[in-house]
């Protein structure tokens, strides 16, 4: 299957940029969100990011206009009925995602590929009875999508080779490099490794071994990482990592994954990182 028309459900930062990256490479995109304001913000954000590229000379103004012109914003999920690939990119909440997939199962064509951008939940946990589970999988982009080249493709228990091949071709079409994960696992590859680093950093700080700033400096200088674990947690959101830790703890019962009080207090106080102006650092 050659994918020419895609649907993206969820117009937040990830969904908006997945739509933009796809549209810039000649694909027709339907971007769906129930919130009219969120759709408007997605358009403004994409235009701002792409016009900045045009100002720097890395793309032309004509490319910006034609790319944005391929994105159709809609509040009506029915408009994705003719899409060959639908990517769910809503809030990282299982109940919300399951509700979306229940609707997609009713709306989408039987040959459409249904994917989740989730890095937390394997695809098989997001539906009970898809009519074609061989065409469902995880397709995880990285923030910011317009800059990060990696895409993780993770098979579900019944994902077909044809589905995987179509998604690898799609990733190549939009100039993203795919890594295939052959079996389901929560967190996929990159976020599991990052989570382990963040968890250890939080433990060191919680137990008083070092301050977050010094842990970040050590990781950046000693491992040559561009950001330390606390800076990275601020960037992606303390609430996001808190949910990841809670999920791992509930799944495994491993006390090592129980969110430390240091993280819990900040989340309860609304100190979620860059998006709120304060996390482990102030912005």
Cα dihedral 37, 71, 180, 165 sign:
positive
The residues, ordered by sequence, that sit 6+ positions from 231 with a Cβ below 8 Å of its Cβ are 216, 280, 281
- pLDDT above 90: residue 251: no
Helical residues (DSSP H) of 27-93, grouped into ranges:
36-56, 61-69
Q: What is the pLDDT of residues 199-215, one digit of tens each?
A: 999 999 999 999 999 99
Domains of the chain: 5-181 (3.40.50.720), 191-274 (1.10.1040.10)
- What amino acid positions are annotated as catalytic residues? 119, 140, 152, 191
Q: What's the pLDDT score for residue 20?
A: 98
Q: What's the pLDDT score for residue 12?
A: 95
- pLDDT above 80: residue 1: no
- pLDDT above 80: residue 36: yes
Q: State both tokens at 54.
A: 């045009």
- Computed over every residue of the chain, the mean pLDDT equals 96
Q: What's the pLDDT score for residue 120?
A: 86
Q: What's the pLDDT score for residue 136?
A: 98
């Amino acid at each position: 299957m050659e994918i020419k028309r895609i649907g993206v459900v969820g117009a937040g930062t990830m969904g908006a940029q997945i739509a933009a990256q796809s549209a810039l490479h000649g694909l027709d995109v339907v971007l769906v969100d129930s919130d009219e304001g969120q759709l408007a913000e997605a358009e403004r954000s994409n235009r701002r990011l792409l016009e900045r590229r045009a100002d720097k000379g890395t793309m032309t103004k004509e490319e910006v206009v034609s790319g944005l012109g391929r994105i159709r914003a809609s509040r009506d999920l029915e408009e994705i009925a003719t899409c060959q690939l639908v990517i769910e990119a809503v809030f990282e909440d299982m109940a919300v995602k399951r509700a979306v997939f229940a609707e997609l199962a009713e709306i989408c064509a039987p040959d459409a590929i249904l994917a989740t951008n989730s890095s937390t939940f394997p695809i098989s946990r997001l539906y009970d009875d898809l009519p074609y589970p061989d065409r469902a999988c995880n397709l995880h982009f990285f923030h910011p999508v317009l800059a990060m080249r990696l895409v993780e493709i993770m098979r579900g228990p019944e994902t077909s080779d044809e589905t995987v091949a179509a998604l690898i071709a799609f990733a190549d079409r939009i100039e993203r490099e795919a890594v295939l994960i052959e079996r389901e696992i929560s967190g996929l590859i990159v976020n599991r490794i990052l989570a382990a680093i963040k968890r250890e950093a939080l433990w060191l700080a919680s137990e008083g071994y070092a301050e977050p700033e010094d842990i970040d400096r050590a990781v950046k200088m000693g491992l040559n990482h561009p950001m330390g674990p606390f800076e990275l947690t601020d960037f992606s959101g303390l609430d996001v990592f808190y949910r990841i830790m809670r999920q791992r703890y509930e799944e495994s019962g491993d006390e090592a994954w129980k969110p430390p009080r240091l993280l819990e207090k900040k989340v309860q106080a609304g100190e979620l990182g860059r998006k709120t102006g304060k996390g482990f650092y102030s912005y």
